């Protein structure tokens, strides 16, 4: 008997549906060829759900997520819904709500550049030729994203608050150390401890956790310096541990230097390994519907789902190496093509990755 897993699929807005279609092709292969079944059920989310139900996260969608082993998320948002009050906008009302609702505190964003693929990176050749393999761990349910905030229009005054309880830092830091054990055993923890109180607590707590992991080399870096060091010498980094806001910023930088935001997958996981898996790049409405978006971030998000929520490392590795083969063999979507020439479509990239996956089975 094949083991069955329920996956809630939430394609969302912009390029979400077209890149999700490529992930579905991979799912079909898995269901046919491997001893597991990913039982997908699709739900509305984001702007499209606002248009249909006046609610970015309908009840059915939440219920569907609750019944699932994991959520495969596309992307949400777009200009069409930007006039709405912030609480109703797709980003806040669906994505941030789901992160909080399911306590998805651990966000993993891997970004890799193979040295043979150095030309994908916008960095200078002598830097990109060294390649890099960075895992950005971002705290996802606390900090300034969820702190007290106000916008008083009459006074033209607004504030947001950054706040952390020690426990919130402990749980994400522990996961970062555990992940570092499986890698090069180096963590750089990011803060602004020369200015911010939350950062002082962050640094102190991470130092305390590190005592239990003597084999891991921990260092601390201010966020401003980190943005600089990442473009000067990304190969020096292994695991980067960040608060919610700093991780948001650094993970985009990591994605860009590895070639394109269209290649960055993301896993958001809770204590029970339930997770939401999404491309980190957003809905990119300006290129939606043109069959030019890069589906790699969505396909790698599926692979992360299989790795972390289902625990099947073998299948996840096969998907990852199929993506790598496509890139090494010079198949590129528009965003990663040199001079925007000789690129293949979203559909074709999906098909080629499927072909390489089938070859491996």
Positions in the binding site for ligand IPM (CB under 6 A):
91, 95-96, 248, 280, 282
* Residue 341 CB, nearest approach to ligand IPM (Å): 29
Cβ atoms 135, 183 nearer than 8 A = yes
Of 282 and 350, which has the nearer Cβ to ligand IPM?
282
What is the rounded CA–CA span in Å between residue 250 and residue 28?
Answer: 34
Q: How far is the CB of 225 from ligand IPM (least distance, A)?
A: 21
Torsion sign over Cα 12, 15, 21, 27: negative
Q: Strand ranges (DSSP E) for the chain?
A: 3-12, 36-42, 70-75, 106-113, 132-139, 149-152, 157-160, 186-191, 217-222, 239-242, 265-269, 275-279
- Please tell me which residue in 5, 44, 164, 192 is annotated as part of the active site: 192
Helix (H) and strand (E) counts in the chain = 13, 12
Phi, psi of 220 (to 5 degrees): -115, 145
- Quick check: is 133 catalytic? no
Is the Cα torsion angle 144, 148, 151, 157 positive or negative in sign? Answer: negative
If the CB atoms of residues 246 and 356 are measured against ligand IPM, the closer one turns out to be 246
Least spacing, CB of residue 272 vs ligand IPM, in Å = 21
Q: Is 184 a catalytic residue?
A: no
| Nearest to ligand IPM of 213, 277 (CB atom) | 277
Of the residues 13, 43, 112, 145, only one is catalytic, namely 145
Please report, as ranges, the residues that interact with Mn ion according to CB under 5 A: 248
Residue nearest to ligand IPM (CB): 91
By a kind-dependent CB cut-off of 5 to 8 A, residue 95 interacts, out of Mn ion, ligand IPM, none, with ligand IPM
User: Smaller CB distance to ligand IPM: residue 118 or 274?
Assistant: 274
Q: Which of 151, 224, 236, 355 is catalytic?
A: 224
Please, how many CA atoms are within 13 Å of residue 58, restricted to the half-sphere of its CB? 17
Name the binder of 200 from Mn ion, ligand IPM, none, CB < 5-8 A by kind: none
Catalytic annotation, residues: 145, 192, 224, 248, 252
């Amino acid at each position: 008997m094949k083991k069955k897993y329920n996956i809630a699929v939430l394609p969302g807005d912009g390029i979400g549906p077209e890149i999700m279609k490529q992930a579905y092709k991979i799912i079909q292969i898995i269901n046919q060829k491997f001893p597991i079944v990913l039982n997908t059920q699709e739900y509305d989310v984001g702007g499209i759900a606002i248009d249909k139900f006046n609610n970015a996260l309908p009840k059915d969608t939440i219920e569907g997520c609750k019944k699932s082993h994991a959520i495969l998320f596309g992307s949400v948002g777009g200009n069409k819904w930007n006039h709405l009050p912030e609480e109703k906008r797709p980003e806040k009302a669906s994505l941030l709500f789901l992160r909080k609702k399911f306590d998805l505190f651990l966000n993993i964003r891997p970004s890799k550049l193979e040295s043979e693929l150095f030309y994908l990176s916008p960095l200078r050749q002598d830097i990109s030729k060294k390649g890099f393999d960075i895992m950005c761990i971002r705290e996802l349910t606390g900090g300034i994203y969820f702190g007290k905030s106000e916008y008083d229009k009459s006074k033209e005054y607004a504030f947001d608050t950054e706040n952390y309880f020690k426990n919130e830092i402990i749980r994400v830091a522990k996961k970062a150390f555990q992940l570092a054990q499986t890698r090069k055993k180096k963590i750089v923890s990011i803060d602004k401890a020369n200015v911010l109180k939350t950062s002082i607590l962050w640094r102190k707590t991470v130092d305390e956790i590190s005592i239990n992991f003597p084999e891991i080399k921990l260092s601390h870096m201010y966020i401003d310096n980190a943005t600089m060091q990442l473009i000067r010498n990304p190969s020096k980094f292994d695991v980067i541990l960040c608060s919610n806001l700093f991780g948001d910023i650094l993970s985009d930088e990591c994605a860009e230097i590895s070639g394109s935001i269209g290649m960055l997958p993301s896993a958001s996981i809770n204590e029970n390994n339930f997770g939401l898996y999404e491309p980190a790049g957003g809905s990119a409405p300006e290129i939606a519907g043109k069959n030019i978006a890069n589906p790699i971030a969505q396909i790698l998000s599926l692979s992360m789902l299989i790795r972390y929520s289902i625990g099947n490392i073998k299948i996840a590795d096969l998907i990852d190496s199929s993506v790598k083969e496509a890139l090494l063999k010079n198949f590129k979507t528009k965003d990663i093509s040199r001079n925007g020439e000789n690129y293949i479509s979203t559909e074709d990239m999906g098909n080629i990755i499927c072909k390489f996956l089938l070859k491996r089975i």
